[in-house]
Amino acid sequence: MGAVSKGQIEARISEAVSKFEIEYMGRGPKQIRTMIIEDMIIIRIKGFLSPSEQKLAENEQGRDLIRQMRAMLFETARDQLSVTISQITGSVLTGLYSDVNMTNGENIIVATAADDLGKLPEAGHKR
């Protein structure tokens, strides 16, 4: 089997994070995209709010509550998600960060790796 391409690793990370969202947050996202740029892994998640969270998000107090809850859940599962991404990339993660934007309904996860993952081969190219 040949080298795994950057696109394949990005797809595997998206699948793992989607599974994480289902298991830990109770609902999978409508859309997820992972991009590897040098030593950074950027995961953009859209459509992650449950119907009850969408209702809560109609006012500022509800949005704050959702942010707090999701931050606590992320912190609880941070180590497991870090290990999962490390296993997929083959690189140790040096940081893992998450932020939720309630205005546009996006969640961004940024992971920093010990290695330059941007040097992985592109799909269809041999290393």
Going from the C-alpha of 86 to that of each of 18, 20, 71, 74, the distances in angstroms are 16, 14, 21, 17
pTM of the model as a whole:
0.87
- What is the model's pLDDT at position 121? 67
Query: Where are the domains positioned within the chain?
Result: 6-119
Q: How far apart are CA 27 and CA 88, in angstroms?
A: 22
The CATH code for residues 6-119 is 3.30.980
- What is the model's pLDDT at position 2? 58
| Interval 20-62: pLDDT, tens | 888 887 788 999 999 999 999 999 999 988 888 889 989 999 9
Quote the percentage of the chain above a pLDDT of 90: 65
Mean pLDDT across 108-123: 85
- Determine the distance from the C-alpha atom of residue 26 to the mean position of all C-alpha atoms in its chain, rounded to a whole number: 15
- Please answer whether residues 88 and 12 qualify as being in contact, where contact means their C-beta atoms are separated by less than 8 angstroms: yes
Mean pLDDT across 88-109: 93
- What is the model's pLDDT at position 50? 84
Query: Which among 100, 98, 95 has a CA at the least distance from the CA of 111?
Result: 95
